[in-house]
Amino acid sequence: MSDLTELTAGQLLDGYRTGAFSPVEAVRAVVERAERIQPEVNAFVLLTTEEALARARRSEGRWLRGEPRGRLDGVPVTVKDLLLMRGHPTLRGSLTVSDRGTFEEDAPSVARLREHGAVFLGKTTTSEYGWKAVTDSPRSGVTRNPHDPARTAGGSSGGAAAAVALGAGPLALGTDAGGSIRIPASFCGIFGLKPTYGRVPLYPASAFGTLAHVGPMTRAPADAALMLDVIGVPDSRDWSALGPAPGSYSEALIGGVRGLRVAYSPSLGGQVAVRPAVAEAVRRAVERLAALGAYVTEADPDFADPVDAFHTLWFSAAAHVVQPLGPGRRELLDPGLREIAGRGARHSALDHLAAVDVRVELGRRMGRFHESYDLLVTPTLPITAFEAGAEVPKGSRHRRFTGWTPFTYPFNLTQQPAATLPVGHDADGLPIGLQLIAARHRDDLVLRAAHALYEAGAASPGPRVRPAGG
């Protein structure tokens, strides 16, 4: 029998269908892997081992009767600890959140996965309230990169990315309000999709409002498409959720890229300094897109860095998060979160509305851009993973994470679908990510192009990582 922790969700389902192995065997292997990696990378805040095995046994019975429940019956999945999961606390990486309660509600995405028979392994680490692009918090400590534990996994969905990269479940739920799916997926060498805003309903609302998206983190785009088919349906609890998807994202994968108009922007018009190894790996993958039949043009979207507007919205949201806390409770917060919340509290309503104006104009410009181009391709990040426990690389002139994430947060402002896939590695064996962006509601194009690159062998995280002792 092959190593069950190495299989995609699609491969697991094929094995259950043919009887090659059972959900109990798969879940037990994945649980053992999760327990083994935890001391080294710190991907989990909660492992629900006994619950997972009990759900796997029920799934096994359904498969034996030829009555699988939904589209993910028996497939292991993890949930970022910003999303509600029935029966367990959602602590958001914060010592200010109580672990007492009955916890009777699932987030919409978690509820849909449960309805389709997925097996929850546990909850993965996040920065406090998801406020920064690395994963460390006062509650759960530092999450480390599976390729080099001295490096960061990225964030804020770092636990999810590390778990998938190391075989602790083929599927993970993450959130992304400034890059928090794409950044750790890029650093850890997996696939991550930030769907169009509202495609996956979110409840309760994110601390960071309409910047925040929920999406899949997987080893392959086909798994992400399957997962999006399951979680991308309306839920009445989210007033901003989109209506039903226009079709199956899994079925849309077969379209390929022939004839698609692709704009390749290596540095957003010279605004971003990109490391040579990153630039070269992304360029090779873009050349593969052209070889597969896409019409590739080097072209930059017409916008200046919207970081000031993003900071206004981000810092104001942080101030709102901590507003209910008294001075004593605020001392428990991550110092960086406390600092940006203080800055955000000084913003006026007019400051906020001015930032919204910038956002509206940016969305207009990108809407016009996509009249000419089906896809925009950029590096996901200009760098590879740096030292763990730091918000910015050593020696950086930047204080905040936005200094090294210039390719990600603009597309939270515009609410567009954006994905990252691994296209190589640097001299230290650290993964490099390519970002694919489409117009709002065209998640199918992002998934199609990513799948085409995977099928052509152009997507590779570099050396396969193994957990300590295995």
pLDDT in tens, 393-421: 999 999 999 999 999 999 999 999 999 99
- Mean pLDDT of all residues in 408-437: 98
78: pLDDT strictly greater than 60:
yes
- Residue 365 lies inside a defined structural domain of this protein: yes
Residue 66: which CATH number? 3.90.1300.10
Quick check: is 180 catalytic? yes
Both structure tokens of 138: 């006062």
465: pLDDT strictly greater than 90:
no
pLDDT band at 392 (very low <50, low <70, confident <90, very high): very high
Q: Which residues pair with 213 in a beta bridge?
A: 176
Q: Which residues pair with 120 in a beta bridge?
A: 77
Catalytic residue among 156, 206, 316, 460: 156
Look at strands 119-124 and 44-47 and give their pairing.
Answer: antiparallel
Nearest-angstrom CA–CA distance, 76 and 293 = 36
* Amino acid at residue number 288: R
Quick check: is 80 catalytic? yes
Q: Which of 89-93, 135-139, 387-391, 464-468 shows the lowest per-residue confidence on average (mean pLDDT)?
A: 464-468
Number of domains in the chain: 1
432: pLDDT strictly greater than 80:
yes
- Mean pLDDT of all residues in 151-177: 98
Q: What is the pLDDT of residue 466?
A: 64
- Residue 325 lies inside a defined structural domain of this protein: no
Q: What is the pLDDT of residue 420?
A: 98
- Residue 335 lies inside a defined structural domain of this protein: no
Q: What is the pLDDT of residue 459?
A: 84
pLDDT band at 467 (very low <50, low <70, confident <90, very high): low
Ranges of beta strands (E only) in 162-242 are 171-176, 191-194, 213-218
pLDDT digits (tens, 9 = 90+) for 285-314: 999 999 999 999 999 999 999 999 999 999
Quick check: is 460 catalytic? no
Looking at every residue in the chain, the average pLDDT score rounds to 96
pTM over 0.85: yes
pLDDT digits (tens, 9 = 90+) for 178-197: 999 999 999 999 999 999 99
Q: What is the pLDDT of residue 58?
A: 98
Q: What is the pLDDT of residue 462?
A: 54
- Residue 326 lies inside a defined structural domain of this protein: no
pLDDT band at 463 (very low <50, low <70, confident <90, very high): low
Catalytic residue among 59, 137, 180, 186: 180
- Residue 328 lies inside a defined structural domain of this protein: no
Q: What is the pLDDT of residue 460?
A: 72
- Residue 220 lies inside a defined structural domain of this protein: yes
Q: What is the pLDDT of residue 252?
A: 96
Helix (H, G, I), strand (E, B) or coil at 160: helix
470: pLDDT strictly greater than 90:
no
- Residue 339 lies inside a defined structural domain of this protein: no
Q: What is the pLDDT of residue 135?
A: 98
Q: For residue 5, what is the DSSP state?
A: G
Catalytic residue among 80, 123, 132, 194: 80
pLDDT band at 116 (very low <50, low <70, confident <90, very high): very high
Both structure tokens of 407: 């390719």
* Amino acid at residue number 99: D
Q: What is the pLDDT of residue 201?
A: 98
Whether 451 and 221 have beta carbons less than 8 Å apart is answered as yes
Instruction: Find the domain containing 40 and state its range.
Output: 4-307+347-455
pLDDT digits (tens, 9 = 90+) for 29-66: 999 999 999 999 999 999 999 999 999 999 999 999 99
Which residues, other chains included, contact 22 with Cβ-Cβ below 8 Å and sequence gap of 6+? Answer: 16, 56, 60, 63, 74
Determine the length of the chain: 470
pLDDT band at 387 (very low <50, low <70, confident <90, very high): very high
- Residue 331 lies inside a defined structural domain of this protein: no
